[in-house]
């Protein structure tokens, strides 16, 4: 519309100029007249180019955002620039992006709640059914060993040790699926127990967590715990680190979880696996942001390592119904 108005104004000015000035256009056209017409056409073209650039300058930003949008990474709202048409398109794009984030968050909440429910059920089954059966078998072996000749007791004792090791592994698996400490004693105790329960890989694990924190929603506690669990497990499995640090800072305005290591770091150009995408989904679930990048270099390590950081603004206000 602005282009039409501008062209109409220029044509109107040209008509007025021909009407009130001695300027004329004859046939065949004279050189001076051709020069005037050429200048007029150039003015119209330049004015159109400038106006179009101003009117649609916001469209390039919309195109870039459409090409790179990732609903698992919260992004700032695009500023409303350009003409009326461009502003209307940007407003619509921002509204569409907000709906996508809301729908993705709702879908992630349903999926993760179902996943946690299934983990709870499996963990309960492992603890109550399989664990009890293994314990019963262990007691039967012990009773049987008391009645056997000495020549068989060594073999039965070896079987008992295998049974105890299996029982311990089942218990550890049940705890990883759904740590009872998280429900019974809260986030801080669960994170402490998590650091102690991780397999010994030669890496020194250091934790820095507050003595106490304000009550958080069960959903937020579970998100923080699962991200800490995934980040520390990844560091142990893939980084080759000799030192892993977990830090948790909580205030009424911000919660920050940071897991750093001095390992080999993430290879350049490596795509994000299911574990990292799962952490991003959990962060999105509570309105948080997850950053994964290079950790601060640790003196003497020779590596820059990896840092996983979760930031949640206003964590006290995070509710299960989000």
Helix axes 150-177, 187-197, angle to 10 degrees: 140
pLDDT of 309: 92
Q: Within this chain, do residues 306 and 204 fall inside the same structural domain, yes or no?
A: yes
Q: Within this chain, do residues 189 and 311 fall inside the same structural domain, yes or no?
A: yes
Q: Is residue 140 in some structural domain?
A: no
User: How far is it, in rounded angstroms, from Cα 37 to Cα 263?
Assistant: 71
Q: Within this chain, do residues 320 and 186 fall inside the same structural domain, yes or no?
A: yes
Collapsing DSSP states into helix, strand and coil, what is residue 33? helix
Collapsing DSSP states into helix, strand and coil, what is residue 227? helix
Q: Is residue 148 in some structural domain?
A: no
Q: Is residue 230 in some structural domain?
A: yes
User: How far is it, in rounded angstroms, from Cα 170 to Cα 56?
Assistant: 62
Q: Within this chain, do residues 195 and 93 fall inside the same structural domain, yes or no?
A: no
Burial class (CB in 10 A: 0-12, 13-18, 19+), 290: buried
Q: Is residue 165 in some structural domain?
A: no
Collapsing DSSP states into helix, strand and coil, what is residue 246? strand
Q: Within this chain, do residues 296 and 192 fall inside the same structural domain, yes or no?
A: yes
Phi and psi dihedrals of 307, rounded to 5?
Answer: -130, 130
Q: Per the omega criterion (within 30 degrees of 0), is the bond before 28 cis? A: yes
User: How far is it, in rounded angstroms, from Cα 262 to Cα 26?
Assistant: 83
Q: Is residue 123 in some structural domain?
A: no
Q: Within this chain, do residues 196 and 298 fall inside the same structural domain, yes or no?
A: yes
Q: Which two tokens stand for residue 129?
A: 């059914």
Q: Which two tokens stand for residue 161?
A: 């040790």
DSSP string, 269-295: TPPP-HHHHHHHHHHHHTT-EEEEEEP
pLDDT of 310: 93
pLDDT of 248: 92
Look at the alpha carbons of 178, 180, 181, 185 in this order and tell me if their dihedral is positive or negative.
Answer: positive
- In the chain, the number of structural domains is 2
Q: How far is the CA of 75 from the CAs of 108, 258, 262, 283, in angstroms? A: 18, 21, 29, 14
What CATH number should be reported for the domain holding residue 189?
A: 3.30.565.10
Left if phi > 0, otherwise alpha if psi is -120 to 50, otherwise beta: which for 305? left
Q: Is residue 30 in some structural domain?
A: yes
pLDDT of 72: 61
User: How far is it, in rounded angstroms, from Cα 167 to Cα 42?
Assistant: 86
How is the chain split among helix, strand and coil, in percent rounded to 5? Answer: 60, 10, 25
* Mean pLDDT, each 10-residue run in order, the chain (322 residues): 68 71 66 73 77 69 69 66 71 79 74 74 76 81 75 78 82 72 83 80 85 86 90 85 89 89 78 82 85 63 75 70 38
Q: Within this chain, do residues 192 and 295 fall inside the same structural domain, yes or no?
A: yes
Q: Is residue 59 in some structural domain?
A: yes
Q: Within this chain, do residues 88 and 201 fall inside the same structural domain, yes or no?
A: no
Q: Is residue 167 in some structural domain?
A: no
Domain housing 13: 2-69+82-101
């Amino acid at each position: 519309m602005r282009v039409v108005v501008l062209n109409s104004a220029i044509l109107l000015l040209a008509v007025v100029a021909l009407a009130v000035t001695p300027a004329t256009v004859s046939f065949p056209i004279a050189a001076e007249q051709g020069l005037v017409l050429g200048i007029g056409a150039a003015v119209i073209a330049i004015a159109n180019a400038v106006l179009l650039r101003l009117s649609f300058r916001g469209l390039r930003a919309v195109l870039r955002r459409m090409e790179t949008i990732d609903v698992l990474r919260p992004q700032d709202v695009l500023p409303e620039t350009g003409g009326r048409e461009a502003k209307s398109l940007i407003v619509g794009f921002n509204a569409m992006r907000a709906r996508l984030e809301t729908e993705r968050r709702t879908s992630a909440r349903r999926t993760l709640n179902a996943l946690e429910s299934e983990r709870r059920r499996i963990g309960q089954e492992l603890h109550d059914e399989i664990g009890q059966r293994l314990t019963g078998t262990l007691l039967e072996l012990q009773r049987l060993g008391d009645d056997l000749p000495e020549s068989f007791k060594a073999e039965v004792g070896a079987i008992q040790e295998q049974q105890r090791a299996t029982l311990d592994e089942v218990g550890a698996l049940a705890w990883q699926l759904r740590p009872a400490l998280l429900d019974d004693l809260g986030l801080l105790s669960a994170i402490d127990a998590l650091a102690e329960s991780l397999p010994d890989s030669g890496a020194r694990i250091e934790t820095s967590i507050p003595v106490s924190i304000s009550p958080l929603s069960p959903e937020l506690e579970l998100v923080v715990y699962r991200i800490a669990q995934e980040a520390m497990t990844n560091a142990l499995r893939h980084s080759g680190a000799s030192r892993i640090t977990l830090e948790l800072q909580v205030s009424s305005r911000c919660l920050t979880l940071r897991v750093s290591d001095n390992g080999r770091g993430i290879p350049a150009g490596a795509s994000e696996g299911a574990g990292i995408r799962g952490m991003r989904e959990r962060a999105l679930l509570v309105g948080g942001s997850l950053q994964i990048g290079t950790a601060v270099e640790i003196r003497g390590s020779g590596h820059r390592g990896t840092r996983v950081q979760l930031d949640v603004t206003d964590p006290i206000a995070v509710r299960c119904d989000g």
